[in-house]
């Protein structure tokens, strides 16, 4: 059996092809493409199949996509792509094609991870049956994803959401001012507006307006040459720019509070996984008390929150592995 899988996001389109038989799973080909370089997803797929000379018929395919999947069709949230199960099946002659939300795939991919693929931020209450842990997965990257994992009828189920587009709920005076500042130009301020790569830049611009002289000309010039979010992160991690450090601190406060809120939305849960492209880059900062305090400070639920285990997912291919795992079940 030959299967094809992918993790399709606003920044990268990761693809993998595997041969599966009684002896196990053999990876035939794997590559990541810059999504913006292609006009549609089928063009990416055809490039992948041609580069690796894959001519043998594909038996099944599963693609994780950043966007809500409805009736086998998904419009990619941060790309001008519309992907359809039927069109993919007909174009590529694949009998079984399934589209899933990208964080649905992350949920399934978590079960494929090794010990070194995660870092524990908070060790919660240890349950007797570790194989039946309900969980929430949240992750900031190009956008913001949230999903719920539940154990039901002898296996895990993944429930997707579009919680990243829910309204941003400030937790302190600075965040209230941030919301008010954004409301001057936006009719709806979503959580993703401030909890994503572009959200990091938004927070930087907001804090800069509070003290315009705080911006370093070096940082400003660097942002013209590189991804501004990466510049902010680099200078904050090296502790070489105060404005960037303030930005990252505010981002971590929002991230911790949002992760705690997600756990409450789906409570009761046992674990919370912090996924997405940003978390591994700032794992040391997320490991600090700032994030944990923002997560746990939930009033009457404070003691309950301290009992939840929180882990950062370091494996950037977790969604790809989840999609591959799904493809094997089709």
Mean pLDDT confidence for 30-55: 94
Check pLDDT > 80 for residue 128.
Answer: no
Q: Give residue-wise pLDDT tens across range 77-112.
A: 888 999 999 999 999 899 999 999 999 999 999 989
Peptide bond into 268 cis (omega under 30): yes
| Fold observed for domain 114-314 | Hexokinase; domain 1 (3.40.367)
**Every domain of the chain and the residues it spans:** 2-108+317-327, 114-314
Q: Give residue-wise pLDDT tens across range 291-307.
A: 999 999 999 999 999 99
Of 249, 237, 248, 255, residue with least CA distance to 310: 255
Strand locations in 69-218, DSSP E? 69-70, 73-75, 82-84, 96-101, 118-122, 135-140, 144-152, 155-160
DSSP string for residues in 177-233: HHHHHHHTT-S--BGGGTSSHHHHHHHHHHHHHH-GGG--HHHHHHHHHS-HHHHHH
> Is the pTM here over 0.85, yes or no?
yes
pLDDT at 130: 65
SS3 letters across 234-296 = HHHHCCCCHHHHHHHHHHHHHHHHHHHHHHHHCCCCCEEEEECCCHHHHHHHHCCHHHHHHHH
pLDDT at 309: 97
Mean pLDDT confidence for 41-47: 95
What's the N-to-C CA distance of the chain in angstroms? 11
Q: Are strands 2-8 and 12-21 parallel, antiparallel or unpaired?
A: antiparallel
Q: Give residue-wise pLDDT tens across range 163-176.
A: 999 999 999 999 99
Number of neighbouring beta carbons within 10 Å of residue 86: 11
pLDDT at 131: 66
Of 183, 176, 219, 188, residue with least CA distance to 201: 219
C-beta separation of 24 from 57 below 8 A: no
As a whole number, the mean pLDDT across the chain is 94
Check pLDDT > 70 for residue 124.
Answer: yes
Contacts of 128 (CB under 8 A, 6+ apart): none
The CATH class for the domain spanning 2-108+317-327 reads alpha beta
Contacts of 250 (CB under 8 A, 6+ apart): 174, 175, 178, 203, 207
Q: Give residue-wise pLDDT tens across range 195-221.
A: 999 999 999 999 999 988 899 999 999
């Amino acid at each position: 059996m030959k299967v094809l899988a992918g993790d399709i996001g606003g920044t990268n389109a990761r693809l993998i092809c595997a041969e599966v038989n009684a002896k196990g799973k053999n990876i035939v080909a794997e590559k990541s493409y810059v999504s913006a370089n292609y006009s549609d997803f089928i063009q990416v797929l055809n490039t992948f199949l041609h580069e690796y000379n894959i001519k043998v018929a594909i038996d099944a395919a599963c693609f994780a996509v950043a966007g809500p999947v409805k009736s086998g069709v998904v419009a990619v949230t941060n790309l001008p792509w519309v992907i359809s199960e039927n069109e993919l099946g007909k174009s590529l002659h694949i009998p079984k094609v399934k589209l899933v939300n990208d964080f649905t795939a992350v949920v399934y991919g978590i079960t494929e991870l090794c010990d070194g693929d995660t870092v524990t931020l908070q060790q919660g209450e240890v349950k007797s049956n570790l194989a039946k842990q309900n969980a929430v997965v949240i992750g900031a990257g190009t956008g913001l994803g949230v999903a719920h994992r539940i154990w039901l009828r002898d296996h895990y189920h993944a429930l997707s959401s579009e919680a990243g587009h829910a309204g941003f709920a400030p937790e302190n005076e600075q965040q209230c001012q941030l919301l008010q500042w954004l409301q001057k130009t936006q009719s709806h301020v979503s959580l993703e507006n401030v909890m994503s790569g572009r959200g990091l830049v938004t927070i930087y611009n907001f804090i800069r307006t509070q003290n315009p002289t705080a911006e370093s000309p070096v940082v400003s010039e660097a942002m013209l040459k590189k991804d501004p979010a990466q510049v902010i992160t680099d200078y904050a991690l090296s502790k070489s720019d105060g404005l960037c450090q303030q930005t990252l601190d505010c981002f971590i406060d929002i991230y911790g509070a949002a992760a705690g809120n997600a756990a409450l939305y789906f409570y009761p849960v046992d674990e919370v996984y912090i996924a997405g492209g940003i978390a591994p880059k700032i794992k040391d900062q997320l490991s600090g008390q700032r994030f944990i305090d923002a997560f746990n400070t939930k009033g009457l639920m404070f003691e309950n929150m301290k009992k939840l285990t929180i882990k950062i997912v370091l494996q950037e291919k977790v969604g790809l592995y989840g999609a591959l795992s799904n493809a094997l079940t089709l």
